Structure 1
Amino acid sequence: MMPLRRTSEKAARASAAKTEGEISLADEALFANDTFYLAFAEKDVEAMSRLWAKRHPTICIHPGWPAIHSREKIVESWERILTNPDQPGIDFYNPVAHEAGNVVLVTCYEELPGGVCIATNGFVVEDGLRLFHHQATPCANPPPPKGAGDARGTR
């Protein structure tokens, strides 16, 4: 599992590398994925809203929910989730980035008190990278975490 404290350290390193022009689109997506889960864990509605694409079509499928197809409704759904005092904490592990043109899909596992979900987070180039797709579903047999804090995965 990737502790969020280590995620913040990785985010700082990725930001420095980006400034120096040394970061790939896939690595930038892994950084954006870290930012998504940090916003989720910290229940930061504003940060979550900033992550979502404004021009590209968006879709979000929370576990057990129907698909949500508009940015406005997606942000509203996250506001309901993140402002819910009973919302449990979350962590994630084993992120892997799959780059295809100006889109990067990141798969990872979400660890919640009740179990583990497999998630796909899609990022598109739009004023940097923005989230355009999130889908999470329960995973019956999740793998164990690979090296703690290693967000590079196998591409």
Structure 2
Amino acid sequence: MSLKVGDQAPDFEAKNQKDETVKLSDFRGKKVVLYFYPKDNTSGCTAQACNLRDNYSNLQKAGYEVIGVSKDGVKSHQKFAEKQELPFTLIADEDTNINQAYGVWKEKSMYGKKYMGTARTTFLIDEDGKIEDIIEKVKTKEHTAQILK
């Protein structure tokens, strides 16, 4: 099942980098940037996270909370968030249930080898939990501009 604009965003419950349980429904009444990325501390994912960090105040002024999701664990997220001074929540989706619910867990290919991984995708979710936009062609160094367009 693939999600589209206007659909209700699937709720989830998972641990963040502070080992706290977070639910998407906790953010009702706020707009959410829910971004899926492949791996902590890789060049593209770091560029994307730092772009969001550097523009975090602009995103907040526009009413957004930012939540990053990858299949890395809590400890990996802790190190990534500390190293890059990330002010927003990172969700550990080690079993890929959230990736799968959002349809971003896909077959990928590198050097002719096929494997399953996260397709870098961002969902903009409104105050009522409905998807208002889906960004599939994420520009890691210009991501905030794509969100606030």
Q: TM-score, normalised by structure 1?
A: 0.31
Name the structure, 1 or 2, with higher relative contact order (CA <8 Å, separation 6+): 2
Q: TM-score, normalised by structure 2?
A: 0.31
